[in-house]
Structure 1
Amino acid sequence: MSWELLLSLLALCALLALVVQLLRFLRADGDLTLLWAEWQGRRPEWELTDMVVWVTGASSGIGEELVYQLSKLGVSLVLSARRVQELERVKRRCLENSNLKGKDILVLPLDLTDISSHEAATKVVLQEFGKIDILVNNGGKSQRSLCVETNLDVYKELIELNYLGTVSLTKCVLPHMIERKQGKIVTVNSLLGIIAAPLSSGYCASKHALRGFFNGLRTELTSYPGIVISNVCPGPVQSNIVKNALTTEVTKTLGSDGDQSHKMTTSRCVRLMLISMANDLKEVWIAEQPFLLMVYLWQYMPTWAWWITNKLGKKRIENFKKGLDADSSYFKTWKTKHD
Structure 2
Amino acid sequence: MSWELLLWLLALGTLLALVVQLLRFLRADGDLTLLWAEWQGRRPEWELTDVVVWVTGASSGIGEELAYQLSKLGVSLVLSARRAHELDRVKRRCLENGNLKGKDILVLPLDLADRNSHEEATKTVLQEFGKIDILVNNGGVSQRSLFMDTNVDVYKELIEINYLGTVSLTKCVLPHMIERKQGKIIIVNSLLGIISVPLSGGYCASKHALRGFFSTLQMELDAYPGVTVSNICPGPVISNIVKNSLTGEVTKILGSEADQSHKMATSRCVRLMLICMANDLKEVWIAEQPFLLMAYLWQYMPTWAWWLTNKLGKKRIENFKSGVDADSSYFKIWKPKHD
Structure 2 length normalisation: TM-score? 0.98
Q: State the Cα deviation string for residues 43-82 of structure 1 (Å, max 9, x = none).
A: 1011101110000000000000000000000000000000
Secondary structure of the corresponding residue to residue 256 of structure 2: coil
- Say if 2:173 is the partner of 1:173: yes
Secondary structure of the corresponding residue to residue 160 of structure 1: helix
Secondary structure of the corresponding residue to residue 156 of structure 1: helix
Alpha-carbon distance in structure 2 between the residues aligned to 1:48 and 1:208: 28
Alpha-carbon distance in structure 2 between the residues aligned to 1:331 and 1:34: 24
- Say if 2:161 is the partner of 1:161: yes
Contact 2:262 / 2:334 at 8 angstroms: preserved in 1?
Answer: no
1:80-99 to structure 2, matched below 5 A, reads 80-99=80-99
Q: State the Cα deviation string for residues 213-271 of structure 1 (Å, max 9, x = none).
A: 10000110000111110000000010000000000000000002311122101001000
1:96-245 to structure 2, matched below 5 A, reads 96-245=96-245
Q: How far off its partner does 1:335 sit?
A: 3.5
Alpha-carbon distance in structure 1 between the residues aligned to 2:203 and 2:43: 33
Q: State the Cα deviation string for residues 141-184 of structure 1 (Å, max 9, x = none).
A: 00000001000000000000000000000000000000011100
Q: How far off its partner does 1:332 sit?
A: 1.0
Alpha-carbon distance in structure 1 between the residues aligned to 2:99 and 2:121: 26
- Paired residue for 1:51? 51
Alpha-carbon distance in structure 2 between the residues aligned to 1:281 and 1:326: 31
Alpha-carbon distance in structure 1 between the residues aligned to 2:195 and 2:61: 22
- Say if 2:302 is the partner of 1:294: no
Alpha-carbon distance in structure 1 between the residues aligned to 2:279 and 2:118: 28
- Paired residue for 1:313? 313
Contact 2:42 / 2:278 at 8 angstroms: preserved in 1?
Answer: yes
Alpha-carbon distance in structure 1 between the residues aligned to 2:5 and 2:55: 58
Partner AA of 1:315 in structure 2: K
Partner AA of 1:249 in structure 2: E
Q: How far off its partner does 1:7 sit?
A: 1.7
Secondary structure of the corresponding residue to residue 224 of structure 2: coil
Contact 2:261 / 2:328 at 8 angstroms: preserved in 1?
Answer: no
Q: How far off its partner does 1:5 sit?
A: 1.5
Q: How far off its partner does 1:3 sit?
A: 1.7
Alpha-carbon distance in structure 1 between the residues aligned to 2:288 and 2:270: 14
The runs of 5 or more residues in structure 1 that have no matched partner are none
Contact 2:73 / 2:99 at 8 angstroms: preserved in 1?
Answer: no
Contact 2:54 / 2:79 at 8 angstroms: preserved in 1?
Answer: yes
Alpha-carbon distance in structure 1 between the residues aligned to 2:7 and 2:298: 35
- Paired residue for 1:69? 69
Alpha-carbon distance in structure 1 between the residues aligned to 2:9 and 2:137: 50
Secondary structure of the corresponding residue to residue 334 of structure 1: coil
The runs of 5 or more residues in structure 2 that have no matched partner are none
Alpha-carbon distance in structure 2 between the residues aligned to 1:91 and 1:327: 33
Q: How far off its partner does 1:334 sit?
A: 3.4
Alpha-carbon distance in structure 2 between the residues aligned to 1:24 and 1:328: 23
Alpha-carbon distance in structure 2 between the residues aligned to 1:170 and 1:131: 14
Q: How many residues align?
A: 336
Alpha-carbon distance in structure 1 between the residues aligned to 2:135 and 2:245: 24
Alpha-carbon distance in structure 2 between the residues aligned to 1:204 and 1:306: 15
- RMSD value over aligned CA atoms? 0.9
- Paired residue for 1:32? 32
Structure 1 length normalisation: TM-score? 0.98
Alpha-carbon distance in structure 2 between the residues aligned to 1:279 and 1:12: 35
Alpha-carbon distance in structure 1 between the residues aligned to 2:85 and 2:335: 38
Q: State the Cα deviation string for residues 190-220 of structure 1 (Å, max 9, x = none).
A: 0000000000000000000000110000110
Secondary structure of the corresponding residue to residue 106 of structure 1: strand
Partner AA of 1:95 in structure 2: L
Percent sequence identity over aligned pairs: 85
Q: How far off its partner does 1:333 sit?
A: 3.1
- Paired residue for 1:276? 276
Alpha-carbon distance in structure 1 between the residues aligned to 2:55 and 2:334: 34
Alpha-carbon distance in structure 1 between the residues aligned to 2:56 and 2:257: 22
- Paired residue for 2:248? 248
Secondary structure of the corresponding residue to residue 333 of structure 1: coil
Secondary structure of the corresponding residue to residue 53 of structure 1: strand
Partner AA of 1:150 in structure 2: T
Partner AA of 2:163 in structure 1: Y
Q: How far off its partner does 1:38 sit?
A: 0.8
Secondary structure of the corresponding residue to residue 28 of structure 1: coil
- Paired residue for 2:325? 325
Alpha-carbon distance in structure 2 between the residues aligned to 1:119 and 1:70: 25
- Paired residue for 1:259? 259
Alpha-carbon distance in structure 2 between the residues aligned to 1:290 and 1:98: 34
